[in-house]
Structure formats: C-alpha cells, structure tokens
Amino acid sequence: KAGVTQTPRYLIKTRGQQVTLSCSPISGHRSVSWYQQTPGQGLQFLFEYFSETQRNKGNFPGRFSGRQFSNSRSEMNVSTLELGDSALYLCASSLSGASDTQYFGPGTRLTVL
C-alpha cells in the first residue's frame, strides 16, 4: 500500500506570493490533517479535513486555508506569504480520525525569501 505523498517536496517563494501544497492520503483514508513544523514553535496543528469538510482548525491566521476533494486528496494554500511561514509542512492521513493511527507524509519544505 502506498504511503502518504506530498508534492512538491521543496518550494522557494518570495514574500507576498501565495503557495499551494498537495497531499495524497493512503488509499481508503478519509481524514487528512496538516501540521506546520518550525524550530521555534515545533509541530503545530493547522487543520483537519474529513469527507471534504473541515472538522477542526488550529490557531493560524486566515491566510492559511485548505480543502479536500472527493477522492480524499487535500490541498493547503497560504496567501500573502511572510518570512515566518518558512517551515516544513506535514500532512497526515488516517481512516477516520483520532481513534486510528495517523500516517505522516515526508513533508513539503517551504522557504520564503
């Protein structure tokens, strides 16, 4: 069974631009969560989608948004990029949520210049 895949793996953007990251969950998984990892703040929950609906949201500004498609693939978008958005963005999938094991992808490393 293929694992969680994230594209692209690396991305360089400049301040003010926007970016879209993609996550393909393990086949059959309906829950997709996104996390931001930085050296200073550690791993922080961004949001979770389940069956195309946002089920939970972390404490991030509205510039961070996401969506989930009918095939459970998910995208997250960051508009008006700031230097502080430089981070490793990780996506995780599970069958239905907290009661199942979450499997993480390799992440997308975003650098904002």
Collapsing DSSP states into helix, strand and coil, what is residue 25?
coil
Dihedral, CA atoms, 26, 32, 38, 41, nearest 10 degrees? -140
113 is a site residue for other proteins (CB under 8 A): no
Q: What are phi and psi of 54, to 5 degrees?
A: -75, 120
Give how many residues touch other proteins by CB under 8 A: 28
12 is a site residue for other proteins (CB under 8 A): no
Tokens in use for 46?
């961004």
Binds other proteins by CB under 8 A, chosen from 20, 22, 56, 86: 56
**Which x/- pattern over 24-43 shows residues binding other proteins (rule: CB under 8 A)?**
-------xxx-x------xx
4 is a site residue for other proteins (CB under 8 A): yes
